[in-house]
Structure 1
Amino acid sequence: MTRLHDMGGRYGDGPVVPEPEQPLFHAPWHKRALAITLAAGALGKWNIDVSRHARECLAAKDYARFSYYEKWMAALADLLVETGAVTRDELSGQAAPAPSPLGAKRLAAADVATVLATGGPADRASTVAPRFSPGDAVATRPIAANMLVDGGHTRLPAYAAGARGRVLRYHGTHVLPDASAHRLGDAAEPLYAVAFPASELWSHPEHPRDEVILDLWQSYLEPAA
Protein backbone atom coordinates (compact mmCIF):
# COMPACT_ATOMS: atom_id res chain seq x y z
CA MET A 1 0.00 0.00 0.00
CA THR A 2 1.07 3.62 -0.47
CA ARG A 3 1.89 4.98 2.95
CA LEU A 4 0.12 8.32 2.96
CA HIS A 5 1.98 9.64 5.97
CA ASP A 6 5.37 9.01 4.35
CA MET A 7 5.66 12.55 2.96
CA GLY A 8 9.40 13.25 3.20
CA GLY A 9 10.77 14.54 -0.10
CA ARG A 10 7.34 14.57 -1.73
CA TYR A 11 6.41 17.55 -3.89
CA GLY A 12 3.12 19.42 -3.96
CA ASP A 13 2.21 19.46 -0.27
CA GLY A 14 3.41 22.99 0.38
CA PRO A 15 5.85 24.27 2.99
CA VAL A 16 6.06 23.05 6.58
CA VAL A 17 4.61 25.82 8.74
CA PRO A 18 5.81 25.55 12.36
CA GLU A 19 3.12 26.13 14.98
CA PRO A 20 3.70 27.90 18.28
CA GLU A 21 4.33 25.56 21.20
CA GLN A 22 1.58 27.24 23.21
CA PRO A 23 -1.20 26.60 23.60
CA LEU A 24 -0.49 22.89 23.74
CA PHE A 25 -3.99 22.10 22.44
CA HIS A 26 -5.43 24.35 19.74
CA ALA A 27 -9.06 23.38 20.37
CA PRO A 28 -10.85 22.09 23.50
CA TRP A 29 -11.74 18.78 21.84
CA HIS A 30 -8.08 17.99 21.09
CA LYS A 31 -7.32 17.17 24.71
CA ARG A 32 -10.42 14.98 24.83
CA ALA A 33 -9.27 13.15 21.71
CA LEU A 34 -5.89 12.49 23.33
CA ALA A 35 -7.51 11.31 26.56
CA ILE A 36 -9.96 8.97 24.81
CA THR A 37 -7.19 7.48 22.68
CA LEU A 38 -5.00 6.78 25.71
CA ALA A 39 -7.91 5.38 27.70
CA ALA A 40 -8.92 3.07 24.84
CA GLY A 41 -5.31 1.91 24.44
CA ALA A 42 -5.29 0.91 28.10
CA LEU A 43 -7.92 -1.74 27.34
CA GLY A 44 -5.14 -3.91 25.93
CA LYS A 45 -6.79 -4.66 22.59
CA TRP A 46 -3.93 -3.24 20.50
CA ASN A 47 -0.44 -1.80 20.78
CA ILE A 48 1.10 1.45 19.54
CA ASP A 49 2.23 -0.11 16.25
CA VAL A 50 -1.25 -1.44 15.51
CA SER A 51 -2.66 2.03 16.18
CA ARG A 52 -0.10 3.69 13.88
CA HIS A 53 -0.97 1.24 11.12
CA ALA A 54 -4.67 1.99 11.61
CA ARG A 55 -4.01 5.67 10.94
CA GLU A 56 -2.08 5.00 7.76
CA CYS A 57 -4.90 2.72 6.58
CA LEU A 58 -7.42 5.58 6.53
CA ALA A 59 -8.90 6.35 3.13
CA ALA A 60 -6.64 8.65 1.13
CA LYS A 61 -9.26 11.38 0.81
CA ASP A 62 -9.88 11.32 4.57
CA TYR A 63 -6.20 11.27 5.51
CA ALA A 64 -5.55 14.29 3.28
CA ARG A 65 -8.38 16.41 4.70
CA PHE A 66 -8.35 15.37 8.35
CA SER A 67 -6.44 17.33 10.96
CA TYR A 68 -3.97 15.58 13.28
CA TYR A 69 -6.47 14.60 15.96
CA GLU A 70 -9.17 13.81 13.42
CA LYS A 71 -6.82 11.13 12.09
CA TRP A 72 -6.43 9.81 15.63
CA MET A 73 -10.19 9.64 16.21
CA ALA A 74 -10.96 8.06 12.82
CA ALA A 75 -8.37 5.32 13.37
CA LEU A 76 -9.56 4.79 16.94
CA ALA A 77 -13.14 4.27 15.73
CA ASP A 78 -11.89 1.67 13.26
CA LEU A 79 -9.91 -0.15 15.97
CA LEU A 80 -12.80 -0.17 18.45
CA VAL A 81 -15.10 -1.83 15.90
CA GLU A 82 -12.42 -4.14 14.49
CA THR A 83 -11.54 -5.52 17.94
CA GLY A 84 -15.17 -5.85 19.05
CA ALA A 85 -14.81 -3.30 21.84
CA VAL A 86 -17.95 -1.61 20.51
CA THR A 87 -20.27 -2.28 17.60
CA ARG A 88 -20.65 -0.01 14.61
CA ASP A 89 -24.23 0.76 15.68
CA GLU A 90 -23.15 1.63 19.22
CA LEU A 91 -20.46 3.93 17.88
CA SER A 92 -22.86 5.71 15.53
CA GLY A 93 -25.52 6.09 18.22
CA GLN A 94 -27.99 3.82 16.42
CA ALA A 95 -27.94 1.31 19.30
CA ALA A 96 -27.76 1.77 23.04
CA PRO A 97 -24.33 0.87 24.44
CA ALA A 98 -24.28 -2.53 26.12
CA PRO A 99 -22.22 -3.42 29.21
CA SER A 100 -18.75 -4.59 28.19
CA PRO A 101 -16.43 -7.09 29.88
CA LEU A 102 -13.68 -4.56 29.13
CA GLY A 103 -15.17 -2.30 31.78
CA ALA A 104 -12.92 -3.86 34.39
CA LYS A 105 -9.88 -2.64 32.43
CA ARG A 106 -10.98 0.97 32.23
CA LEU A 107 -8.35 3.57 33.02
CA ALA A 108 -9.45 5.21 36.26
CA ALA A 109 -8.72 8.91 36.73
CA ALA A 110 -6.57 8.17 39.78
CA ASP A 111 -4.31 5.92 37.69
CA VAL A 112 -3.69 8.27 34.76
CA ALA A 113 -0.55 9.96 36.14
CA THR A 114 1.08 6.62 36.99
CA VAL A 115 0.25 5.11 33.60
CA LEU A 116 1.63 8.12 31.73
CA ALA A 117 4.79 8.19 33.83
CA THR A 118 5.36 4.47 33.24
CA GLY A 119 4.94 4.74 29.48
CA GLY A 120 5.20 1.72 27.19
CA PRO A 121 8.83 0.63 26.92
CA ALA A 122 9.59 -1.21 23.68
CA ASP A 123 12.98 -2.67 24.60
CA ARG A 124 12.92 -6.47 24.70
CA ALA A 125 15.37 -9.34 25.02
CA SER A 126 16.38 -10.81 21.66
CA THR A 127 18.48 -13.63 20.29
CA VAL A 128 19.47 -11.45 17.32
CA ALA A 129 23.05 -10.25 17.77
CA PRO A 130 23.97 -6.67 16.82
CA ARG A 131 25.62 -6.54 13.44
CA PHE A 132 26.82 -2.94 13.52
CA SER A 133 28.70 -0.59 15.84
CA PRO A 134 28.89 3.22 16.11
CA GLY A 135 30.92 4.57 13.20
CA ASP A 136 30.03 1.77 10.78
CA ALA A 137 28.98 2.77 7.27
CA VAL A 138 25.58 1.30 6.40
CA ALA A 139 23.00 1.47 3.64
CA THR A 140 19.25 1.02 3.91
CA ARG A 141 17.29 -1.47 1.85
CA PRO A 142 16.63 -0.16 -1.67
CA ILE A 143 12.88 -0.66 -1.22
CA ALA A 144 11.16 0.66 1.91
CA ALA A 145 8.62 -2.11 2.35
CA ASN A 146 7.50 -4.46 5.08
CA MET A 147 9.24 -7.77 4.39
CA LEU A 148 6.79 -9.76 6.56
CA VAL A 149 3.40 -8.47 5.39
CA ASP A 150 2.71 -7.29 1.86
CA GLY A 151 1.79 -3.62 2.04
CA GLY A 152 2.27 -3.63 5.81
CA HIS A 153 3.55 -1.11 8.32
CA THR A 154 7.23 -0.22 8.51
CA ARG A 155 9.33 2.52 10.09
CA LEU A 156 11.77 2.77 7.17
CA PRO A 157 10.83 6.01 5.36
CA ALA A 158 10.57 5.83 1.59
CA TYR A 159 12.83 8.87 1.24
CA ALA A 160 15.63 6.99 3.03
CA ALA A 161 15.43 3.80 0.93
CA GLY A 162 18.79 2.92 -0.62
CA ALA A 163 20.58 5.72 1.25
CA ARG A 164 24.06 5.54 2.78
CA GLY A 165 24.73 6.72 6.32
CA ARG A 166 26.73 5.96 9.44
CA VAL A 167 25.72 4.42 12.74
CA LEU A 168 25.74 6.93 15.58
CA ARG A 169 24.37 4.83 18.43
CA TYR A 170 23.22 1.34 19.29
CA HIS A 171 19.95 1.50 21.26
CA GLY A 172 19.74 -2.17 22.26
CA THR A 173 17.07 -4.59 21.03
CA HIS A 174 13.53 -3.33 20.53
CA VAL A 175 10.15 -4.54 19.26
CA LEU A 176 10.10 -4.62 15.45
CA PRO A 177 7.11 -2.53 14.29
CA ASP A 178 6.87 -4.45 11.02
CA ALA A 179 5.82 -7.52 13.04
CA SER A 180 4.13 -5.87 16.01
CA ALA A 181 1.74 -3.78 13.89
CA HIS A 182 0.31 -7.01 12.46
CA ARG A 183 0.11 -8.94 15.75
CA LEU A 184 3.01 -11.20 14.77
CA GLY A 185 4.78 -10.87 18.10
CA ASP A 186 7.63 -8.65 19.24
CA ALA A 187 10.30 -10.03 16.86
CA ALA A 188 12.77 -7.80 18.70
CA GLU A 189 16.01 -6.94 16.97
CA PRO A 190 18.85 -4.40 17.28
CA LEU A 191 17.92 -0.75 16.80
CA TYR A 192 20.37 1.97 15.74
CA ALA A 193 20.47 5.73 15.35
CA VAL A 194 21.79 6.32 11.82
CA ALA A 195 22.92 9.69 10.43
CA PHE A 196 22.37 10.49 6.74
CA PRO A 197 23.80 13.53 4.94
CA ALA A 198 21.06 15.71 3.48
CA SER A 199 22.77 15.34 0.11
CA GLU A 200 22.21 11.56 0.33
CA LEU A 201 18.45 11.93 0.84
CA TRP A 202 17.39 14.95 -1.22
CA SER A 203 18.13 15.81 -4.86
CA HIS A 204 18.61 19.52 -4.16
CA PRO A 205 19.07 20.05 -0.40
CA GLU A 206 19.05 23.64 0.76
CA HIS A 207 21.79 22.81 3.26
CA PRO A 208 23.80 19.85 1.90
CA ARG A 209 25.92 19.51 5.05
CA ASP A 210 22.89 19.02 7.30
CA GLU A 211 22.20 15.52 8.64
CA VAL A 212 18.99 13.60 9.22
CA ILE A 213 19.11 11.07 12.05
CA LEU A 214 16.75 8.08 11.88
CA ASP A 215 16.19 5.23 14.32
CA LEU A 216 16.33 2.10 12.16
CA TRP A 217 16.05 -1.61 12.89
CA GLN A 218 18.81 -4.00 11.86
CA SER A 219 16.74 -5.73 9.19
CA TYR A 220 16.48 -2.38 7.38
CA LEU A 221 20.26 -2.13 7.03
CA GLU A 222 23.20 -3.64 5.18
CA PRO A 223 26.91 -2.84 5.33
CA ALA A 224 27.65 -0.02 2.90
CA ALA A 225 29.45 -1.22 -0.22
Structure 2
Amino acid sequence: MNDTASFGYRDVDASEKQGMVRAVFSNVASKYDLMNDAMSAGAHRLWKDQFVGRVKPRKDEAILDMAGGTGDIAFRLAKHGAAITVADINPEMLAVGVERAKKKGLEGLIWSEQNAEELSFKDRSFDAYTIAFGIRNVTRIDEALREAHRVLKFGGRFFCLEFSTTTWPGFSDIYDVYSHRLVPKLGKLLANDEESYRYLIESIRRFPPMPEFERMIREAGFAQTKVEPILGGLVAIHSGWKV
Protein backbone atom coordinates (compact mmCIF):
# COMPACT_ATOMS: atom_id res chain seq x y z
CA MET A 1 0.00 0.00 0.00
CA ASN A 2 1.32 3.44 -0.90
CA ASP A 3 2.16 5.82 1.95
CA THR A 4 -0.12 8.79 1.35
CA ALA A 5 -0.90 12.04 3.14
CA SER A 6 -3.65 14.60 2.72
CA PHE A 7 -2.92 17.81 0.86
CA GLY A 8 -6.17 19.69 1.10
CA TYR A 9 -8.86 17.40 -0.29
CA ARG A 10 -6.31 15.42 -2.27
CA ASP A 11 -4.29 12.43 -1.14
CA VAL A 12 -0.69 12.69 -2.31
CA ASP A 13 2.43 10.62 -1.87
CA ALA A 14 3.64 11.27 1.68
CA SER A 15 7.13 12.02 0.40
CA GLU A 16 5.74 14.90 -1.67
CA LYS A 17 3.60 16.67 0.93
CA GLN A 18 6.41 18.46 2.76
CA GLY A 19 7.63 20.14 -0.42
CA MET A 20 4.10 21.06 -1.46
CA VAL A 21 3.33 22.64 1.92
CA ARG A 22 6.65 24.45 1.87
CA ALA A 23 5.76 25.94 -1.51
CA VAL A 24 2.40 27.15 -0.15
CA PHE A 25 4.01 29.01 2.75
CA SER A 26 6.80 30.37 0.59
CA ASN A 27 4.10 31.88 -1.59
CA VAL A 28 2.09 33.41 1.26
CA ALA A 29 4.87 34.39 3.71
CA SER A 30 4.93 38.11 2.96
CA LYS A 31 1.11 38.42 3.24
CA TYR A 32 0.51 35.78 5.90
CA ASP A 33 -0.32 38.12 8.79
CA LEU A 34 -2.44 40.40 6.59
CA MET A 35 -4.45 37.41 5.43
CA ASN A 36 -4.91 36.14 8.98
CA ASP A 37 -6.50 39.46 9.86
CA ALA A 38 -8.71 39.39 6.78
CA MET A 39 -9.82 35.77 7.16
CA SER A 40 -10.65 35.99 10.86
CA ALA A 41 -11.69 39.65 11.05
CA GLY A 42 -8.82 40.05 13.50
CA ALA A 43 -10.11 37.32 15.85
CA HIS A 44 -6.87 35.32 15.50
CA ARG A 45 -5.20 37.94 17.71
CA LEU A 46 -7.65 37.20 20.54
CA TRP A 47 -7.24 33.44 20.08
CA LYS A 48 -3.46 33.79 20.29
CA ASP A 49 -3.71 35.96 23.40
CA GLN A 50 -5.92 33.33 25.01
CA PHE A 51 -3.51 30.57 23.92
CA VAL A 52 -0.47 32.27 25.46
CA GLY A 53 -2.50 32.90 28.60
CA ARG A 54 -2.99 29.15 28.91
CA VAL A 55 0.74 28.48 28.39
CA LYS A 56 1.59 30.81 31.31
CA PRO A 57 5.17 31.50 30.17
CA ARG A 58 7.59 32.20 33.02
CA LYS A 59 10.79 34.20 33.20
CA ASP A 60 13.86 32.41 31.87
CA GLU A 61 12.14 29.14 31.03
CA ALA A 62 12.96 27.63 27.63
CA ILE A 63 10.05 27.46 25.17
CA LEU A 64 10.08 26.00 21.67
CA ASP A 65 7.53 27.69 19.39
CA MET A 66 7.19 25.28 16.47
CA ALA A 67 5.80 26.47 13.12
CA GLY A 68 6.18 29.95 14.58
CA GLY A 69 7.68 31.56 11.49
CA THR A 70 6.33 35.09 11.56
CA GLY A 71 6.71 35.40 15.33
CA ASP A 72 3.12 36.08 16.41
CA ILE A 73 3.20 33.59 19.29
CA ALA A 74 6.88 34.06 20.08
CA PHE A 75 6.52 37.82 20.57
CA ARG A 76 3.70 37.25 23.04
CA LEU A 77 5.69 34.62 24.94
CA ALA A 78 8.82 36.76 25.04
CA LYS A 79 6.97 39.57 26.83
CA HIS A 80 6.94 37.36 29.92
CA GLY A 81 10.71 36.95 29.92
CA ALA A 82 10.87 33.39 28.61
CA ALA A 83 13.74 32.27 26.38
CA ILE A 84 12.10 31.55 23.02
CA THR A 85 13.32 29.40 20.16
CA VAL A 86 11.21 30.00 17.05
CA ALA A 87 11.29 27.02 14.71
CA ASP A 88 9.79 26.63 11.26
CA ILE A 89 10.43 24.42 8.26
CA ASN A 90 10.03 27.39 5.92
CA PRO A 91 12.93 29.88 5.70
CA GLU A 92 10.75 32.53 4.06
CA MET A 93 8.39 32.51 7.04
CA LEU A 94 11.33 32.76 9.42
CA ALA A 95 12.74 35.68 7.43
CA VAL A 96 9.44 37.54 7.89
CA GLY A 97 9.61 36.87 11.63
CA VAL A 98 13.20 38.06 11.94
CA GLU A 99 12.34 41.30 10.13
CA ARG A 100 9.28 41.85 12.32
CA ALA A 101 11.37 41.31 15.45
CA LYS A 102 13.88 43.91 14.27
CA LYS A 103 11.11 46.45 13.70
CA LYS A 104 9.76 45.76 17.18
CA GLY A 105 13.21 46.05 18.72
CA LEU A 106 12.99 42.52 20.11
CA GLU A 107 16.30 40.79 20.68
CA GLY A 108 17.32 37.45 22.10
CA LEU A 109 14.95 35.19 20.18
CA ILE A 110 16.54 32.18 18.50
CA TRP A 111 15.35 31.46 14.96
CA SER A 112 15.84 27.91 13.71
CA GLU A 113 14.86 26.08 10.52
CA GLN A 114 13.41 22.78 11.72
CA ASN A 115 11.23 19.90 10.57
CA ALA A 116 8.65 19.17 13.29
CA GLU A 117 8.98 15.46 12.58
CA GLU A 118 12.76 15.40 13.04
CA LEU A 119 13.88 18.09 15.46
CA SER A 120 17.61 18.59 15.92
CA PHE A 121 17.30 19.50 19.60
CA LYS A 122 18.49 17.20 22.37
CA ASP A 123 16.14 15.26 24.60
CA ARG A 124 14.56 17.21 27.46
CA SER A 125 15.64 20.65 26.17
CA PHE A 126 12.49 22.72 26.75
CA ASP A 127 10.04 23.58 29.50
CA ALA A 128 7.18 24.14 27.05
CA TYR A 129 6.37 23.41 23.39
CA THR A 130 3.86 25.54 21.51
CA ILE A 131 2.49 25.21 18.00
CA ALA A 132 -0.24 27.46 16.58
CA PHE A 133 -2.04 26.77 13.30
CA GLY A 134 0.84 24.60 12.12
CA ILE A 135 0.39 20.98 13.06
CA ARG A 136 -2.27 20.28 10.44
CA ASN A 137 0.36 21.00 7.77
CA VAL A 138 2.72 18.32 9.09
CA THR A 139 2.92 15.15 7.00
CA ARG A 140 3.08 12.71 9.93
CA ILE A 141 1.36 14.36 12.89
CA ASP A 142 2.03 11.38 15.18
CA GLU A 143 5.78 11.73 14.63
CA ALA A 144 5.66 15.48 15.31
CA LEU A 145 3.83 14.82 18.59
CA ARG A 146 6.41 12.22 19.62
CA GLU A 147 9.18 14.70 18.86
CA ALA A 148 7.42 17.33 20.96
CA HIS A 149 7.31 14.86 23.82
CA ARG A 150 10.99 13.96 23.36
CA VAL A 151 12.36 17.50 23.52
CA LEU A 152 10.31 18.46 26.58
CA LYS A 153 11.69 18.15 30.08
CA PHE A 154 9.78 16.08 32.61
CA GLY A 155 6.97 18.31 33.79
CA GLY A 156 7.03 20.13 30.45
CA ARG A 157 3.86 21.46 28.84
CA PHE A 158 2.54 20.92 25.31
CA PHE A 159 0.11 23.44 23.86
CA CYS A 160 -1.42 23.43 20.38
CA LEU A 161 -3.77 26.01 18.88
CA GLU A 162 -5.48 24.68 15.78
CA PHE A 163 -8.61 24.99 13.70
CA SER A 164 -11.14 22.20 14.18
CA THR A 165 -14.82 21.59 13.43
CA THR A 166 -17.39 23.74 15.18
CA THR A 167 -20.31 21.91 16.74
CA TRP A 168 -22.58 24.94 16.91
CA PRO A 169 -25.73 24.31 14.81
CA GLY A 170 -26.05 26.71 11.90
CA PHE A 171 -22.70 28.38 12.49
CA SER A 172 -20.84 25.50 10.86
CA ASP A 173 -22.91 25.92 7.66
CA ILE A 174 -22.24 29.67 7.55
CA TYR A 175 -18.53 29.11 8.13
CA ASP A 176 -18.37 26.46 5.40
CA VAL A 177 -19.81 28.88 2.85
CA TYR A 178 -17.50 31.68 3.99
CA SER A 179 -14.34 29.61 4.06
CA HIS A 180 -14.78 27.70 0.83
CA ARG A 181 -16.18 30.51 -1.30
CA LEU A 182 -14.78 33.74 0.12
CA VAL A 183 -11.39 32.95 1.65
CA PRO A 184 -9.79 31.84 -1.64
CA LYS A 185 -11.13 35.04 -3.23
CA LEU A 186 -9.59 37.08 -0.41
CA GLY A 187 -6.34 35.26 -1.07
CA LYS A 188 -6.45 36.31 -4.69
CA LEU A 189 -7.35 39.89 -3.84
CA LEU A 190 -4.84 40.50 -1.03
CA ALA A 191 -2.04 38.06 -1.82
CA ASN A 192 -2.63 37.26 -5.51
CA ASP A 193 -2.74 33.58 -4.55
CA GLU A 194 -6.10 31.85 -4.61
CA GLU A 195 -4.87 28.25 -4.63
CA SER A 196 -2.66 28.48 -1.54
CA TYR A 197 -5.59 29.74 0.51
CA ARG A 198 -7.86 27.11 -0.95
CA TYR A 199 -5.39 24.53 0.36
CA LEU A 200 -5.28 26.15 3.81
CA ILE A 201 -9.07 25.91 4.11
CA GLU A 202 -9.19 22.37 2.81
CA SER A 203 -6.45 21.32 5.24
CA ILE A 204 -8.70 22.40 8.12
CA ARG A 205 -11.43 20.06 6.88
CA ARG A 206 -9.02 17.13 6.75
CA PHE A 207 -7.65 17.69 10.25
CA PRO A 208 -8.77 15.14 12.89
CA PRO A 209 -11.77 16.08 15.07
CA MET A 210 -11.00 17.26 18.61
CA PRO A 211 -11.48 13.89 20.39
CA GLU A 212 -9.32 12.08 17.83
CA PHE A 213 -6.52 14.64 18.02
CA GLU A 214 -6.60 14.49 21.83
CA ARG A 215 -6.21 10.72 21.56
CA MET A 216 -3.17 11.20 19.31
CA ILE A 217 -1.63 13.52 21.91
CA ARG A 218 -2.14 10.87 24.61
CA GLU A 219 -0.68 8.16 22.39
CA ALA A 220 2.45 10.30 21.95
CA GLY A 221 3.01 9.96 25.69
CA PHE A 222 1.34 13.04 27.13
CA ALA A 223 -0.77 12.93 30.28
CA GLN A 224 -3.53 15.14 31.66
CA THR A 225 -4.58 16.05 28.12
CA LYS A 226 -7.26 18.68 27.70
CA VAL A 227 -9.23 20.32 24.88
CA GLU A 228 -10.61 23.85 25.15
CA PRO A 229 -13.00 24.62 22.24
CA ILE A 230 -13.38 28.20 21.03
CA LEU A 231 -16.51 29.17 19.07
CA GLY A 232 -17.87 25.67 19.52
CA GLY A 233 -14.66 24.09 18.25
CA LEU A 234 -13.96 26.28 15.23
CA VAL A 235 -10.63 26.68 16.99
CA ALA A 236 -9.34 24.58 19.87
CA ILE A 237 -6.52 24.73 22.39
CA HIS A 238 -5.08 21.26 23.05
CA SER A 239 -2.71 20.66 25.94
CA GLY A 240 -0.87 17.90 27.74
CA TRP A 241 1.97 17.32 30.18
CA LYS A 242 5.12 15.20 30.04
CA VAL A 243 5.25 13.31 33.32
Shorter-chain TM-score range: under 0.3
Q: Highest CA radius of gyration, 1 or 2?
A: 1
TM-score by length of 2: 0.23
Which of the two has greater strand per residue? Answer: 2
TM-score by length of 1: 0.24
Q: 1 or 2 for the larger relative contact order (CA 8 Å, sep ≥6)?
A: 2
